[in-house]
Structure 1
């Protein structure tokens, strides 16, 4: 009887390993000015990416005046749904939201007026979602410039002086009051937050022009809502980088980012979040890919996406 139990245990372990190995990755992104909407690519190794559905749109933007779908962020929620937020405009006080069971059929799109109460808010850029298992709620966060809110920096471009803000929700219907998430004392955008043990790690873009930064840095916090504290120097090289998204493969971290001046993507990897290696020459992505995020799907879910023409 004991030998049968051990056999069944080993068999189940094998199935679990197979399930883990069958996981795949999806990269959601936009192209051009984003007017055609959501694009998806897939990878089984996290390095070589192939566009799905002939690199055509999975969802066209339908909310806000400008009808854009820039900087899409998708996560799988605790409810099993895929939840997405995106930038709807260069100058709007809200963001876009939709959800899907399969990444093919989407809910009605919503406009969430996150900064509507701030008269001086100029924008709501690059929103992302992170689920907090401790509180069983989602944190949506984004970058906004509020006129006169922080000390004037004469080096900022076009008067933009961003900080990161957030709201909390359990159902994407009701939202907490907006609060300041990250104020490092300088212009900051494009944050993405990942649970890391009992902490949270934030990858963000230091947006300062003078002294020139335009690179990706890291900050940590004990709670998802912060306070976050920067740790270490930049993890990217001597080029302008933005829109980081992090992928975890075993004990390896891969952070992708848009080398937007070079019109191509880059990536760095690390096993300790301190020592980083540039692996940009090892990655391959669809032509024209712009700022997006990476998330996991099952092989079954991926097969359904690959069957689309």
Structure 2
């Protein structure tokens, strides 16, 4: 497929008049391994596993993640769809045709961030998105990573990004330097042929690099996800907090930009059902479960771990793999 991919085209898809405007649009949302190695985000003691969303129109949303992100439909029925890549499940969609749409000022999902294995993969995907006229909501350089933002057909936020090499991340007193600068689109596109779409499917190494949640109170969220779940703070600024395992820049982002003071979520609405944090360390899982139970959190035993509920009703599964 031959396409005319220019900066102007990408700005039009992002609904922006300049790269600065596109970066500003991404501001509220928040490197390159060689060969087939897991990304840094997947080599840490804990990492994000998968996410489950409740959706009104299963077919439309499943087709979107298949066609736009290139995920493979691994299982599909009248009531659910499981999608992933390289044989790894990343996303489950549960049909809730009668559900009301979760308000954007409620606690819940801000975006699911899909991490490309390499910067070239991100470039290839961007050409693919532009060639299919996918509506974008912003793009930005975060210093630790380069990101493109969009929404699925039901308004669930998505980030598609590639990390810079961890050796380029700047740490100071336990805090990593991040920003929302203009994305250098010409430099990114120099890695591929911008006139030919060369992205037949998601690369096998694609993973969910991080989750970003809307919460009602940052201090309360930090108490749960740091004090109880065990993720370490990496940055806090402008109504947002970032946490990670193993000095990744963040496996979890949380903000109160739209949701300050939000109460408990309504499980009968669309949106995030649950997401998982996985570990290979049994002792880490055991310590998490002990802290959760001592802290009075709502905990449910699973075959390979536990499911806990955060202060706003968002469910997180802590899984041993």
Higher strand share: 1
Higher helix share: 2
Q: Same fold judged by TM-score > 0.5? A: no
Which of 1 and 2 has greater Rg? 1
